[in-house]
Each structure stands twice: as structure tokens, then as C-alpha cells.
Structure 1
Amino acid sequence: MKKVLSIVLALAMCLSLAACAQNPKESTEPSDSVKPTEEAGIYTPGTYTATARGHEDGVQVTVTVDANSITDVTLDVSKETESIGGAAADKLKSQIMDAQSAEIDGVSGATETSNAVKMALQDCLNQAMGVSSDEKTPVADGTYSGTAPSFGLTSQMTCEVTFEGGKMTDIQVTEESDSATGEWFASAQELFIPRVLESQSLAVDAITGATTSSNGIRNCVAAAIDAAGGDSSQWYTEIPKKTDTVKLEGYDVIVVGMGGSGVLSYCAAAEQGATVFGIEAAGKIGGDSVCTYGPMAINSQYLKDLYNNGEDYINADDVYNTWMEYVGSDEKADVIHEAVYNSGSALDYYVDNFGFEFEGMGLLGSFVVPEWTKLWCVYSADDDNTSWNILGPNKTFQFTRALETANAMNEKNEYMTELTATSLIFDDDGKVIGVNAQYYDGTTYEIYGKTVILATGGFLGNDDMMNEYLGSTVSTIGDTVNDGTGIQMGISAGGATYMMGTLPMVHISQVPHLIRTDDLTADQKAILTALALTTDQKMITTEGNVWGNENQSGTEDEGITVEIVYAPDYMYYVVYSQEDIDNIRTNGLTEAQANATSQFLSQGGTLPAAGTPVEDIDQILQVGEEYQNVIKADSIADLAAAIGCDESNLTEALGGVDTTYYAVICDSYAYATVGGLDVDVNMNVLREDGTPIENLFAVGQDSEGVCNADGKAYTPWGGQAQSWTFVSGQIAGTQAAAVAAAAE
């Protein structure tokens, strides 16, 4: 099988090995013609350390060598995604010790971590050989192509890189499906590529919010360097960071996070006459609001006039009463009242003042109440209505247009992307007076203002917080910039949290590690997905119990579309015996399996008709196992050990039959978390005693816990989370501007 995971560095490693064939005491210049003697050795014995960028920055490799071999290696991948990069560490270490070089296959499904380990390892070996990191193998003039997996679901990325005079002069992305998967790719293309060309280095930081796309481009360029005769491991020249500090003063409102709720808060504050500064860690605005179809909007006048002859189209009282019954408490009745009855008027406000546009009613019905056929609406696409991706119409342009309108209201209004908020600034009395932040180039910013609005999108991207509050991490649909910064800032100011145990916002299931390489065809990937999503096979929880309708806590009454959110750890295993697999090979998929597809996360393949033999089922399962989507075990005991569950539970669940089993993992994919800071009806952050922190506000996923209940899926009507960005954003922006004006 083609080893796609080694595509970036295969040639580079060969060249590096050739460079090893010398005595470092005699020469520091690598030469293919000088062969080491057993006595002289290849390396200068010792321990060497180097770092490289994986999915995140800071994959560290420490290697100990004697004169001729690697005797030990330590990998620190603690900053990588635990279920992907973290799980690959032991396999990578074993490969290194076996290969005695950086020419390793890597681990399927952990491309970025594997490549980072190879790079850092080769750096260590170069140090041990006395090879200068400043020397580069010449590249030939011309245009060369490189291909690597990226964020796209249906194809790998290909870039063409032009070299002239030993330098990169142009990088063009010639094939990608990243832009069909979401709107984040644009920032990688617009920001990352120019920085690589300017610095002539692959050590450029990935663009926050577009990390996977940035690393896809990086790996394509590395492959092109190798194809041009160069050694891509030599193109990681460190880019120094700045140490400057910039102080910005005199703002009425500082908005931390420029996703949907942050943009809408910014606009409302500006419309009230406040001077506003916006902080966004990602390379683009919009956050995870760009991966929604649209907001719930109850009896919006704009929508009534366009699509319902000016008449109400839903009973708001019914929605409110259903909502209150669902949360089971009137503790936040006033806030939920705002969420329901102002959802339409908030949308109208942004249509009238900031040019937002939406498509008609009835395009998306309620998930749970069939009568609510006109509950929510869809963002309008661009003028020719062609800019759509799997998550709906491209809509960043609408948020950008709104910000341009807001900035025109006061020349001091400004927002910055790639600026990451790090902490609040307090005066001697403990009052919030600003925000500390750091720009991508290392510059520190101190931004001072009278009020602060926290809009950082919840904590889905923070594994520690996910484990603390929800007991497990979960796969994600969008970006993971939403790392709990806003909630932690609110807590640092004395703020309380609310309903942090509300289950994550899950609508989609798939295998946990999407195969973005060509190790399987699209049709084969579709079959693997079907094996995970079918409803006619035995499903087993992480505790070893049967998962089924009788286990789905209350979901029959609530009508949740994806019951997996109630499973332990938000996942389960679909278990096949060897007999089941033999039957699929000979007799094909069942009707249920042949119709099991993933909403939004399809990888472009077509499932065979039920009854069509699947002769390549063994290959599909083998690759699925390599990518940690399938567990193969020769007995119930082995399967229990692999799952980490009680063997007696699993024995009972599987009927005690010992055979070879294949457990295909079905994982949940979340848009966001829901629990957040406790807020009142003005969106002020509340202290533990219920009193408001007058000049601190929280919106969007940093505060939506007030509309929900611990232990339940977030209120499941449809579009209400995106609606909350409009309602909370309008309220917070207006209130923050008023507090700032009163402080003058």
C-alpha cells in the first residue's frame, strides 16, 4: 500500500542518510563518497534535542546516540491532539529504533505529528553528525509539484512551487477540497503562502483557525522541494519573534473574540456611538458561525414581509413554554424569554443596520416539533449564489461587511486578527480595565477600555476543560480556536459558571479519524463510514454494555437527532464478528448499511447497493485499523482490553461467543460547547453571589449555558445557538456602550 504519510520527507531522509556517511572529526561537509569506519563512527556520542511543528507548535524529540546508532529516543507530543498525535507516539518511537534513522513510515491518521517527529529527529541527527543547519542542498530552477493530505474531505492538496536561483518564487495551490469543507482555507492561502515566500522558510507558524490547511500547504511545499532535488528538512530556518509592547488606550468597549457573537457585539456597540476594539486569535473573523446554516428567528418582520405576507409564522408562546419545560427550571426565565421573543427583532436589527441577508422560511424545519416548519432561516450566499460548502452558504463576507459598516461609524474603531487575548488587565481595586494580547509575530499588546465583552466561543478546543466539565473530549466540525479563554478570563475576574455540564453541540457522527489520504478510495471510505453508522448491528459502549434505544437517556421523548451525545464518552463501537465480515464479503451490505451515510462529513464516495459483494472488505478494515477507526481482536478478552472495558460486561453484551471481532468506532462531532459564564438578562457576567460585574459581559458560546440544562443535549429545536449570537450580541453591545457612556 502506498505510504502517503512519508511523502513529505522520503527523499529528504535518503539524502540525509547519505550525509551521515562521513567522519565528523575529519569534515563538516556531507559527502556521498566518504564512508565511515566502524572505529570512527557516524555520530558524536551524546544527547541531542530539537523541536518541529506538528498540528500544533512544539513537537520535541530527544535522541541519545553512540558512535554508530540511536540508543534511545524520547518524544514529547503533549501539545498534539491526544487521540491522534498522542496515540501515535509509541509507534513512532518503535519505528525510529527499528529504522535507526528518520526514514520511517509514520503513523496513519497522524500525518502532521509524524512529519514533525521526522523533522525534529533529522535535526537531532544532523547535530550529532556536525552537519550545519545553514547549509542547503541546491534545488533546480523550475516548477515542481507536491501533494499531501489537508483539511479537505474528498481529495488531497496539491501545490506547484516555482524555484529560481535557489529560492521559492511562487506557490500555487492547484488542487484542494479544503474550501468545500469550510471557509477557513482562505486565510491559510492568503496569509501563510506569502509568509513562506518572504521568509524562505517552512518554519512559518500555521495560521490560527486554519492549522490543518496551513500544514497541508507546508507539506506540499516540502514535497516539492524534495522533488526539485533539495532537502526539505533544511528549509526550517527559525523565524525570530518580536519583543515589542504596544499600548492602546481610550476604548469604550473591547470585544474578545470576533466570531459571530463578537462581531455582532462589536456592531451593536459601535451603533450606540461607542469606540470599539476587537481581538481575534484566528486569521479570519466569523469563528464557528461560518459553519452554521442560519439562526432561529421567531416572527422576524424582515422574514414576515418577504415570505409570509407580513403575518406571524410561528407561535412564540409555544416555543417559550416548550423551552422552559425542557430546561426544567425558571431560574433563567428572563434570559430565555429574551432568547425566544427577541430572536426575530435581533435579526431585524442587524438586517436594517448592518446589511445582513437571509433566505426564506421553511428551508429548515425544527428537529423535534414538526409543526415548527418556519423556525429558522438560512444565510444568503453571494450574489451569484454559488459560494456554498458542506456547512451551508459562505457567509464570512456578510460579517466582514457588517464590520466595515461599524468601523465607518468612528475612525477609532478597529479590530485585529491573529491577535490572541491572554488575560484581563485589572486596576488596584480589581476592576477590569483592559486586555493583554499577543500578535502572531510576538508583539505584546495592552489594550485599555471601559468595558470588555467575552466572545471566544466556548471550550471545545480545550481538552483539559472538556475532560473536567464533560468527562471526555469529542471530535470537532469546525476550528478549535474556541479554547475556553473567555470563560477562564471571566473566572479570573470573579465570575461564576453556569450549566457547564450541558452536553456538547452534536449533530453528526462519523469514524473518529477521517482518512484524508488515498489509502482508500472514496467508495471504500464510504463503506467504512457505513460500517460505523449502521443501525442494524450490535453497538457497544466504552463501558462494554449494549448501546441502543433502551439506553438513550430520554431521547425518544426529546427527539434528539443524534442520540450518540448521550453515550458514555460520546461514542460507541459497532461490533462485527468474523462471520459478519465474511458475509459482507460474499453477500454484501444489508439495506441499513447500504443507506448509512454521514450528514455533512461524507468523503464523496458511493455505497454499493445492498447485496453487492464487498470483496475488498479486508483491505477496508485493515486501513481502518491503521487509522485507529477499527479495533481487531481475536477474542472477547482481547477486545475488552483494547476498549478498556469490563470483560464480563462485554461477554454478556456479545453473548459469550469467542471469535475474531472487528469494532468499528462511531464518534460524535460537535460544533461547540454550550455551558459557560453565568450572565444576567443584560449579559453581565455574574459573581458566585449573583451580583453583576458591571463592566464585564459574555456572549455566544461563552454564555449559552443560561439557556440549557446540565446533562442534556443543548436545546434541540434548531438554529437557536446561532440565534443566541444575535440576541446576546445585540444586548451586550448595547449595554456595554451604555456602561461606558455612564463612566465618562
Structure 2
Amino acid sequence: MKKHGCTLLICLLVLSLVLTGCAGFGGKKGMYTPGTYTAQAKGYGGNVSVAMTFDTNAISEVKIEGPDETPAVGGKAIEQFPGKLMEAQSADIDGVSGATYTSKAVLTAAANCVAQAKGEDINKKTPVADGTYSGQAPGFGWTGMLKADVTFKNNVITDIKIVEEQETYTGEIFYTVLDKYIPRILEAQSLAVDGISGATLSSNGVRGCVEQAIEAAGGRSSEWYGEVAKSTKTVKKEGYDVIVVGMGGSGITSFLSAAQAGAKVFGIETTAKLGGQSATTSGPMAINSKIKMDEEFGGKEYIDADAVYKVWNDYCGADAKPNMIRLAIDESGETLDWLIKDWKFQFTPMSSFVLSPYPDWKIWCYYGGETKNRFGTNKTYMFENAVKAAQAKNSAAEYMLELTAQELLKDGDEVVGVKAVYHDGTIYEIYGKTVILATGGFIGNADMMNEYLDGPANTIALTVDDGDGINLGLSAGGALMNPDVPPMVHINQVANLIKNNDLDANGKQVLTSLAIATDALAVDRTGKLWNTKEEISLAPRYRYYNIYTAAQIEDIKTKGLKKVNKSMFLDQGGTVEAGKPIANIDEILEVGADYQNVLVGDSAEALAKAIGCDGSTLKGSLKGVEGPYYAVICAGYAYATCGGLNVDAAMNVLRADGSPIKNLYAVGQDSMGVLLSSGVPYTPYGGQAQSWALTSGRLAGANAAKYALGK
């Protein structure tokens, strides 16, 4: 009996160990399998990565990276999340105000990590109810949100229909989201599908709508981020005369000119549509177009080209290349005539630039046509029609959208082509005799903005202009020309547009008015007084701070704004009246602070800490004005950078010793530094950048074709 009793006792002990997970007598099984787990999700600007370390029953460490999120909003949110997740010991927490997409990405990736640590099937989706559910989220448009109806059947998304949007109010690129992004979500049944290049924020908006619809249907949106397979194929294309990298204004005119000369041309474009930043501009400068002279000025020249040259050259001083300024002026009218006559572009009558100190100079025209959006006429169809016409005349002219150049292909030191990646991951090796770089400068590259300028700027329209062309040129031995020319900043607004309903349009207008007022006490990032009528492109980090005291805010509450200031292009639609009390000004400032548009300090020292400047400097600028203080941030919004690669009159990229790289060319914002000067913003009249894009492209295309064809 003793022997059998002993055996039974041993069996019971073994069973106990098994049931407790070998955690000791009477212990409990842990919640997690110890280790570090990682996951990614789509944020505001790109992927957000989360790494979470678990011990048996707790989250012990959280690391988050989001290099493409905006530093002021998404970056600050990322800084807060490790502590929040550790404190809650859960991914089921609230996001950070003002950082909707970054917050959602962090929490989605964190939930994935938790599921992995628990041993759950991360590919399993909580069932959603059949039916149609709505979602609403901010996109690119700043006057209203996107709204979508999403239909589910048998746990599958069967339809995504946009029922309300303001995206087309700002341009044509939203149609690429409708035509490409939505079908890709439906096909993949995953929100991990890459957004459309050039339409990232609109893609984010659609994704946000679908996430909300999934939650409304009883599902968990974090479970709809299944991995989307990428192609591993490599495709080789050979025998081209001219390869054009970038199909915005400068790239398209390069393409048209080379095709017209009989060259076999291949165009590469990162975004899902033609036109690039040129589709958001008003129009080009054109000096003495023969067509315009005949139509509008009785056959006479309408501007003294020598006078324009003198003003331009004197303005830029010794840094610019006089021969290139002369070239830009003398060829601009010919380019306009060529676009009208050969490619059926439409332009309005010549006019002066509203902000020019030379109001009698009628050197600027708008793109013509009838269909309008916030940036003027719809121009995409003109670019598309011109490219189709070139292909009809030259069957050897090709292009691909959503194809991004990665590096120049070389044979020794000679450039022989371009390596590029398609949106699905396919690698293309494209070989040709010449390459034209037309990628639009580097406004979207934070590292280059830090290296050559005063850091990243707020941007208007496309941010895919991330320096690819300039870096490709440098890799081939090219040299830079004035990369530190201040960016084209034409618009002022709050630093971080509030696109959702946390404030109504009137509240947003009040915040805008405070930010861009020109009669407020203002300081720059160093705490020094700033003249609000100065070029904001010269302000440190392209922003300044309008400072209001508590007494001034109380005055606005009871008496209203003395003047209502509206932002050009970026107005959000409010109808605030001057002199009308604003009873909810405290709420407006509080929301503004949530979005990093308003900094608050009870003392000069506290405000200096919020701004990040020297306390004694700020105190001196305040000149004894008593707090508390509210600093409303005014930020400049840039179209593009101006400096780039050095080129000669043929648009050949030049080496540091001034010798040309015979088969490599650079146009548009990739080379506009030859026309401008370090430390001097742009030029004192409008349309010069667009004119250079179109003119340099026309000349480069012809010259590249001539070289490639041995003429």
C-alpha cells in the first residue's frame, strides 16, 4: 500500500506542475511568453514601428520609432506613448490630441505586439457585421473631412464609397486615391496597403474612414493590417535615348522636347499622376512671347527684357550665374509659344504679380481653362493631353507612374541608366544614353533641409520632392549650386492645421487670425523680436510667435478681434467678424495648444522654455509686458526648395571643376540655384520658378536627344 500511495503522490505533483505551467507549487501561468515583439502600422507620414518587451506578466519596455511623422505633432506623441503603454500595461489606451494617425499607428502596432506575446493568432479577424457603416477622418483638404460608406459581407470589405470630400477642392491628385488606393484595399483586404505617393494624406483619410467603419461593425481595425506581399522581380528595359526622372512640369517638357526630336524616351514618375508640383502652381513668367505680343500688345514687346535682367541680376548679386539668368529670361517667351502652338496649352492674358514691386511689369500669366480648384485651373489634363500627343507622334515615347528612381546605373564612371522600384516592389533597370533629373528639389527631405537650410518647413501640396534627383546627380560626381537659397514660402498659417471637428471653422479662423496678425508683438525661435512684415522664409525654422497677454485675450473675449486676417490659399472657411466678442476664446486657445499651435507660459521664463529659447533674450523682447502669455505660432508654408545641382546652358550637370557630365542633365528645382543667391529669397516677381521648370525642361530634352542621337 505504501508503494502505491507514493506513486499516486508523485503523479499528483507532476499534474500540478503541468497545470501551473511549471511556475512552482501553487503558482499561476503567466499572461505572456517572455521576449521582445515588434510590429508596424501606417502613420501620418509613413510606417511607425513598435518594439515591446514582455516578462511573464508585464510589459517591461516599449520602444517606438516613426521617422516620417511630423516632429511637432506626431514626434511629440511618440515621445509620450512608451510611458502611457507602460503605465496602462495595455494597448487599450487613448491617443494623443492632434496626432490622430500617429496615435492610431502606435496603438495598432502595440496591440499586435501584445497579441504576439499572448500567443494569439495575429492574422485572425474579429467578425464584422454585414452591412454598410460610415467613417469620417481628416485627409489633405483643410476645409472639411473625408466621409466614406464601407460595406461588409461575410467578413469581407466589398465596397468603399466616398460620400463627402474636400480633397478635389485642392487639386486633382485625389482621383488617384479613388482609382488606385481604394481598389487595392479591396483586393488585399488589408489596411497595410501603401498609400498613393503624392496623395499620402488623402490615403490616410480613406484608411481612417475604413478603420472607423470596421469598429462600428463590431470588428477591431488593428486586425486588418495583414502583410501585403511585395514583388521580388527585376525587369530590364534597354535601348532608350533619353530617360527622364520625374514627370512634373520640368520632366514633362523634357519628355515632350526629346520625343519631338525623335528620341526614344522613357519617363519615370513617383506619384500616380502627371504634372507634379506644376499642377498646383498658378502659372509661369514669360518675357515677350510672340503669341502674346500679337494677341495682346499689337505685335509689340510688352516688357524690356534688359530691365528684367538688370533687376534680377542686381537682386541676386554675385552668387547667381548671369548667363543663366539671361537664358531663363530670353527663352521664357519661346517656351510659352511652344507650349501653346505645339502642345495646345492654354494661358490667360499677361498680368503683373500682385506682390511685385514692379506693378507695371506684365510678365506673368495663369494657366487657362475652365475647370477650377483652390490652386486655379485644373492643369493635369493639359499635361496628360500633351504627353498623349507626344506619344501619338513618337511611338517610342513611354512613361510609368508610381515608379521611383533609386540609383543611377553606371559603367565605370559613365551613367548608363536608372534603377527604380515600382509600387509593388518590382525593380526596373532602365538603360539609356542620357538621363534628365527632374524631381522637384528637396523640400520633402528633412535631412537635406537640416543640412542645407534651417530645417524642415511646412509644405503646401506635394512632399515627394525629396531630393532624389539632386542626390543622384551628386552620386555621379555633380556639384551643388546655392543649395541654401531660402525655400519658396508664399503662405502663412498656424503651424499644424486642425482638420477635424475639434474646432469649428470659426474657431479655426480665430486661431489663424491670431497667428498671422502683423500688428502683434512677435519673436522668432531665438526669442528675438521679429518684424512680422519680413519674409518668413528668413525666419529661423520658417516660423515666428505672435505673443498675446492674458489681458489681450480677455479683451478679445469681450470686444472681439480688431482685424480678421485670412490665409491665402489655406483659409479654412470661417466667417468671424471684427469687433464681435469671442466668448469661447479660451477653448480655442486650449485646442490650439493641444495641436502645438499655441504655447502657454505664466512667466517669460516658462514661455521661453516652451519655445526653446533663451529666457533673458525673450524677457528683453517682451519689454516689461506682463504675463501670463499665449504664443500663437505663425508658420510659413513652402512650395519647393530653390537650390540644387550646378548646370550649364545645355542643362548638363557640372562637376566641381566646372566640367560637364555629358549625358546627365538637371532641370527645374533640381537646378534652379544657378538663377538665385544664398540668403536671398526667390525673386521680386511671380512665376519665375514655373518658368524655369518649363524652359529648362524644353532645352534639356532637346539637348539630350541631340547628344543621344549623335546630331
Give 1:405's aligned amino acid.
A
Residue of structure 1 aligned with 2:621, choices 637, 650, 653: 653
Residue 704 of structure 2 aligns with which residue? 736
Residue of structure 2 aligned with 1:100, choices 68, 81, 89: 89
Question: Aligned pair count?
Answer: 689
Deviations 1:165-223 (CA, angstroms, capped at 9, x unpaired): 22111111111111112322111111100101111111100111111111110111111
Check conservation: 1:257, 1:281, Cα contact below 8 A.
yes
Deviation at 1:330, TM superposition (A): 8.1
Q: Hey, what's the Cα distance between the residues in 2 that align with 1:331 and 1:579?
A: 49
Is 1:707 aligned with 2:675? Answer: yes
Q: Which runs of 5+ in 1 are unaligned?
A: 1-24, 27-36, 556-562
Is 1:380 aligned with 2:368? Answer: yes
Q: Hey, what's the Cα distance between the residues in 2 that align with 1:337 and 1:371?
A: 21
Q: Hey, what's the Cα distance between the residues in 1 that align with 2:589 and 2:214?
A: 34
Change beyond 3 A, Cα 1:160–1:38 = farther
Residue of structure 2 aligned with 1:172, choices 155, 161, 183: 161
Compare 81-90 and 615-624 and name the one that shifted more. 81-90
Is 1:248 aligned with 2:237? Answer: yes
Q: Hey, what's the Cα distance between the residues in 2 that align with 1:417 and 1:111?
A: 30
Q: Which runs of 5+ in 2 are unaligned?
A: 1-17, 20-25
Give 2:501's aligned amino acid.
D
Q: Hey, what's the Cα distance between the residues in 2 that align with 1:43 and 1:452?
A: 55
Residue of structure 2 aligned with 1:185, choices 159, 165, 174: 174
Deviation at 1:103, TM superposition (A): 2.7
Residue 224 of structure 1 aligns with which residue? 213
Alignment of 1:138-537 (within 5 A): 138-329=127-318, 332-362=321-351, 364-365=353-354, 367-372=356-361, 374-381=362-369, 385=370, 387-428=371-412, 430-537=413-520
Give 1:291's aligned amino acid.
T
Residue 531 of structure 2 aligns with which residue? 548
Deviation at 1:362, TM superposition (A): 2.6
Is 1:629 aligned with 2:597? Answer: yes
Deviation at 1:726, TM superposition (A): 1.5
Give 2:223's aligned amino acid.
Q
Check conservation: 1:301, 1:345, Cα contact below 8 A.
yes
Is 1:137 aligned with 2:126? Answer: yes
Deviation at 1:99, TM superposition (A): 3.3
Check conservation: 2:260, 2:394, Cα contact below 8 A.
no
Is 1:698 aligned with 2:666? Answer: yes
Is 1:54 aligned with 2:65? Answer: no
Q: Hey, what's the Cα distance between the residues in 2 that align with 1:198 and 1:532?
A: 44
Compare 283-292 and 74-83 and name the one that shifted more. 74-83
Is 1:539 aligned with 2:522? Answer: yes
Residue of structure 1 aligned with 2:546, choices 559, 571, 574: 574
Deviations 1:39-84 (CA, angstroms, capped at 9, x unpaired): 3453333322111111243311111234444332111112323233
Give 2:157's aligned amino acid.
M
Give 1:424's aligned amino acid.
L
Deviation at 1:225, TM superposition (A): 1.4
Q: Hey, what's the Cα distance between the residues in 1 that align with 2:144 and 2:439?
A: 31
SS at match of 1:252: strand
Give 1:492's aligned amino acid.
S
Q: Hey, what's the Cα distance between the residues in 1 that align with 2:294 and 2:31?
A: 79
Check conservation: 2:313, 2:320, Cα contact below 8 A.
no
Check conservation: 2:416, 2:433, Cα contact below 8 A.
yes
Identity of aligned residues (%): 52
Give 1:390's aligned amino acid.
R
Give 1:455's aligned amino acid.
A
Alignment of 1:716-727 (within 5 A): 716-727=684-695
Check conservation: 1:686, 1:693, Cα contact below 8 A.
yes
Check conservation: 1:95, 1:105, Cα contact below 8 A.
no
Check conservation: 1:505, 1:671, Cα contact below 8 A.
yes
Compare 102-111 and 453-462 and name the one that shifted more. 102-111
Give 1:410's aligned amino acid.
N
Deviation at 1:292, TM superposition (A): 0.5
Deviation at 1:459, TM superposition (A): 0.4
Q: Hey, what's the Cα distance between the residues in 1 that align with 2:107 and 2:257?
A: 49
Q: Hey, what's the Cα distance between the residues in 2 that align with 1:345 and 1:304?
A: 12
Check conservation: 1:707, 1:715, Cα contact below 8 A.
no
Check conservation: 2:46, 2:66, Cα contact below 8 A.
no
Q: Hey, what's the Cα distance between the residues in 2 that align with 1:342 and 1:719?
A: 14
Change beyond 3 A, Cα 1:296–1:94 = same
Check conservation: 1:159, 1:171, Cα contact below 8 A.
yes
Give 2:634's aligned amino acid.
C
Change beyond 3 A, Cα 1:589–1:652 = same
Deviation at 1:331, TM superposition (A): 5.8
Q: Hey, what's the Cα distance between the residues in 2 that align with 1:701 and 1:368?
A: 24
Change beyond 3 A, Cα 1:38–1:85 = farther
Q: Hey, what's the Cα distance between the residues in 1 that align with 2:267 and 2:244?
A: 5
Give 2:363's aligned amino acid.
L
Give 2:644's aligned amino acid.
G
Check conservation: 1:291, 1:478, Cα contact below 8 A.
yes
| TM-score, scaled relative to structure 2 | 0.94
SS at match of 1:673: coil
SS at match of 1:159: strand
Residue 668 of structure 1 aligns with which residue? 636
